[in-house]
Chain A
Amino acid sequence: EAQVTQNPRYLITVTGKKLTVTCSQNMNHEYMSWYRQDPGLGLRQIYYSMNVEVTDKGDVPEGYKVSRKEKRNFPLILESPSPNQTSLYFCASSLGLNSPLHFGNGTRLTVT
């Protein structure tokens, strides 16, 4: 089944403790992206990648890192999480130009 898989679904952590949210797609998509969703703010893009080893900042990249060493994986790294990064995070992938995005089921992160 074609899908985007994120893990974990839920994560509670403390300020400053490094964490990684994994994202994997099995559709051979070139484009991958991370979004955060907050009440009243809609979806905001954190980082995106158009291909292996190519990543670019989205609208809200501060406090996040990504890497794209393989086509299928696009992990989101929070080196030193802070409470303002408490949010619902979505990974998404796409075949390419003008093709629709496929979303994962989300990761709800709480930073205390």
Chain B
Amino acid sequence: GDSVTQMEGPVTLSEEAFLTINCTYTATGYPSLFWYVQYPGEGLQLLLKATKADDKGSNKGFEATYRKETTSFHLEKGSVQVSDSAVYFCALTATYGQNFVFGPGTRLSVLP
């Protein structure tokens, strides 16, 4: 079945460092891809999305490009802030029906 793999972390960075969180997927057909963020004590929020190959999703300085050839959707940010500390989830809409598949989440801690 469809699945998502992402680096589990935790990832610890200093403020203003470059961030990459890797995400790869397995799916038949052409899923849409998403990154969600969960701040402490809150539900998940959509960070960005891409619906077809070569699309780039971006929001709040974060970017991810839908790479069909490598089945990847890596999350990047050029300069992280302390306020970016959270858990990040990669997800896709499964090929069958409208169901969602989530990766295990990556905890990011940014130190001042």
A98 proximal to B (CB < 8 A):
yes
- Interface secondary structure of A, over-half rule: strand
Min CB–CB distance B68 → chain A (angstroms) = 15
Q: How large is the interface on A (under 10, 10 to 19, 20 to 34, 35 or more residues)?
A: 20 to 34
**Contact status A42-B102, CB under 8 Å:** yes
Q: How large is the interface on B (under 10, 10 to 19, 20 to 34, 35 or more residues)?
A: 20 to 34
* Chain A residues in 8 Å Cβ range of B45: 103
**Contact status B43-A106, CB under 8 Å:** yes
B72 proximal to A (CB < 8 A):
no
* Chain A residues in 8 Å Cβ range of B32: 98
Q: Interface-forming stretch among B16-24, B78-86, B92-100? A: B92-100
* Chain B residues in 8 Å Cβ range of A92: 44, 100
CB contact under 8 A between A43 and B89, given known A94-B98, A101-B46: yes
**Contact status A98-B42, CB under 8 Å:** no
Which of B49, B89, B97, B105 is A100 in contact with, Cβ under 8 Å?
Answer: B49
**Contact status B102-A43, CB under 8 Å:** yes
Q: CB within 8 Å of A: which of B22-66?
A: 32, 34, 36, 42-46, 49, 51
**Contact status A42-B105, CB under 8 Å:** yes
Q: Bound complex: CA of A97 vs CA of B92, how far in Å?
A: 11
Q: Which residues of A contact B (CB under 8 A)?
A: 4, 31, 33, 35, 41-43, 45, 48, 50, 58, 90, 92, 94, 96-98, 100-106
Beyond A41-B104, A43-B105, A105-B43, list 20 extra A-B contacts (CB 8 Å). Answer: A4-B43, A31-B98, A33-B99, A42-B89, A42-B102, A58-B99, A90-B43, A92-B100, A94-B100, A96-B98, A97-B98, A98-B32, A98-B98, A100-B49, A101-B46, A102-B46, A103-B44, A104-B43, A105-B42, A106-B43
Jot down 21 A-B pairs with beta carbons below 8 A, ordered by A: A41-B104, A42-B102, A42-B103, A43-B89, A43-B105, A48-B99, A50-B97, A58-B99, A90-B43, A90-B44, A92-B44, A92-B100, A94-B98, A97-B93, A98-B98, A100-B34, A100-B46, A101-B36, A101-B44, A101-B46, A102-B46
